[in-house]
Each structure stands twice: as structure tokens, then as C-alpha cells.
Amino acid sequence: MGVITLKIDDELEKRLRVRVGQIYGAKRGSISASVEEAIRTWLLKVSTVKQEPRLFVAIKQNKRVAEAPNLAALSKKLAQLNVDPRDVIIETRPLPPLVVRMGLRTRSAGE
Amino acid sequence: MWNFLGSSPAIEVRMRNTLLGETYPRNGGVMAVLDTGYSGFLLLPTKIFRALRLDELMSRKSVAWLADGMKIEMKGAVGSIEIPGLGRTLDGMVQTLEGASEILIGMDGIRGLFVQLDCCNRKLYAESCEPSSSEQEGD
């Protein structure tokens, strides 16, 4: 088992000890277990993002006139080309699915 | 961190028609419900879709497949979501359909975010886990 000596805010330490005591009691190793769980959650959060980059493509009369990784950059390119954004079809790559799933929202019948 | 809106998790956002320079709301933000059952980017009531002048852009039609099996045609145009609390902007396909009364952020609208739903305390935590799409090199 690795050993790390940590310096943390007094208030945070107090909150940690109180909460760990409430959940696990005075069991030996319970603070280490809770810190280990927090480290696992943090590592998951900062793990490498595996997402396909997105591209926005402006198409006019079936021809690509501009493309950019975001709309701000695409807008700039269209302005430079003197193309009105209303005259182009803008598609995203990869193409989004044509069918979008919608969840079911519920409210009381009186609303 | 945001509180739930009624029984649903919600995030404060501003919406933007980046191509025509329109923002909604003009000042401050509005609460948008995070709907993990919606696979799209952002669903707006038609009134807000029009206020953003998204109806002036060439729209792309798609089909909404509802949980009860019904299918409804939706209009869509590209737009942006700003999340002031995270200093983050995301671009995607903004959609609307007749009768929509809420602003819904779907799964595509939270891509690149690390989201924690704390249903015990009715709070939502979100952090960015990738660069904002509008911060990436564009040229």
C-alpha cells in the first residue's frame, strides 16, 4: 500500500472526519478508504476524453464552401468569403442521427 | 453547481445563434432542464427558436422518437449553448417542435462535461473535461 502525506484545509478535514465517522464509525482505515474513493472519482473525471472531433460544414449548391471545428470560426470564414449564413446549409460531421430519442416528461394532470 | 428545478436537474445557460449574432436571453441566463432521455443537443420552444432567428437559417428536419413510440417531425438549425458557470460554449443542432414548452439540454448538449447528479441533495455538478468547441483553433 502506498503512503501519501496530505495537507488539507482544517475545515475540510473536520467535515471529512465527521462524515466518515457518521458513515463508517470509528473503524480503522475508514479515512484512507474515503480518500481512496475520492481519488478514484477524480482520476475518472480527468481520464482521457475519447470523443470524435466535430466539424461544421457550410454547403451551397452541393459544394462545400467552408468548414470549421466550431460555429464561431465558421461564421468568420463565411464573412471572409462574403457568404450569407442564410444561403448555406450547415451540417455537422459526423452527421447527427435523423431520429432523435425524446424522454417522457411527466406533470400532474392539473398543470 | 446548480439546484434542481422541481424534480429535474437544470443548468443555467444562454443560447446563441452564432451565425446571425443573436443571443437569448440578451442579459443573464435561463435554466435549462438536463434531460438524459433526449439524445439531441438542445430543444427550444418555438418562440425562443424564432427569437434567436434560428428559423432564418436553412433548417434540417429530423424525427423525434418519443418514449411512447410516437414519431414527430422537428425543425433544426445549428446554434450554441453557453454555460456561464463553466465558461464554456458548445455548438450543435438546436431543435424545436410544436408544443415544446421547456428548454431541454440533451445528451449531445453535455458532451465533454463531467456531470454528477446528486439526487440526495437535489444538486447537479458539472465540470468541463475537454476544451470548449469554440475555444479550439479555428483557422
* CATH assignment of the domain containing B70: 2.40.70.10
Round to whole Å and give the CA distance between B105 and A45. Answer: 21
Q: What is the per-residue pLDDT for B24? A: 95
Q: Does A102 touch chain B (CB under 8 A)?
A: yes
Query: What's the pLDDT at B137?
Result: 45
Confidence of residue A27 (pLDDT cuts 50, 70, 90): confident
Give the closest-approach CA distance of B52 to chain A in angstroms.
13
Residue B59 is given by DSSP the state: P
Domain count, chain B: 1
Task: Return residues 14-43 of A near B (CB < 8 Å).
Answer: none
User: Given a cut of 80, is residue B59 above it in pLDDT?
Assistant: no
Number of domains making up chain A: 2
Range of the domain at B27: 2-128
Is residue B29 classed exposed, middle or buried when 0-12, 13-18 and 19+ CB atoms within 10 A define those classes?
Answer: middle
Inside any domain, residue A60: yes
Contacts of B34 (CB under 8 A, 6+ apart): B8, B9, B10, B11, B104, B105, B110, B115, B124
Cβ contact B108–A96 (<8 Å): yes
Complex-level ipTM beyond the 0.85 threshold? no
Instruction: Pick from A60, A71, A81, A104 the residue to mutate for testing the B interface (most B CBs within 10 Å).
Output: A71
Domain range for A32: 10-45
**Would you call B138 and A91 a contact, using CB atoms and an 8 Å cutoff?**
no
Within a domain: A14 = yes
- Residues A99, B15: Cα–Cα separation, whole Å: 23
CA dihedral B123, B128, B132, B136 (to 10 degrees): 180
Q: Do B92 and A92 touch (CB under 8 A)?
A: yes
The minimum CA-CA distance between A103 and chain B, rounded to whole Å, is 4
- Interface membership of A90 toward B (CB under 8 Å): yes
Does residue B41 belong to any structural domain of this protein? yes
In which band, very low, low, confident or very high, does the pLDDT at A57 lie, cut at 50, 70 and 90? very high
| Same domain assignment for residues A60 and A89 | yes
B112/A51 Cβ within 8 A: yes
| pLDDT at position A80 over 90 | yes
Cα B24 to Cα B14: distance, rounded to the nearest angstrom: 6
Confidence of residue A44 (pLDDT cuts 50, 70, 90): confident
Q: Are strands A63-68 and A55-60 parallel, antiparallel or unpaired?
A: antiparallel
A72/B138 touch (CB, cutoff 8 Å), yes or no? yes
How much is the average pLDDT of A1-14? 93
pLDDT (mean) for A13-40: 91
Q: Is the pLDDT of residue A45 over 50?
A: yes
Whether A5 is covered by a domain: the verdict is no
Between A and B, how many residue pairs show a Cβ–Cβ distance under 8 A?
119
A67 lies in some domain: yes
Q: pLDDT category, A69, cuts 50, 70, 90?
A: very high
**Of A45, A70, A87, Cβ closest to residue B138:** A70
Residue B135 lies in a domain: no
Give the predicted TM-score (pTM) of the model.
0.81
- DSSP string of chain A, one letter each residue: ---------HHHHHHHHHHHHHHHTT-TTHHHHHHHHHHHHHHHHTSPP-----EEEEEETTEEEEEESSHHHHHHHHHHTT--GGGSEEEEESPPPSEEE-------TT-
**Whole-number Cα distances in Å, B23 to A76, B15, B131:** 17, 6, 22
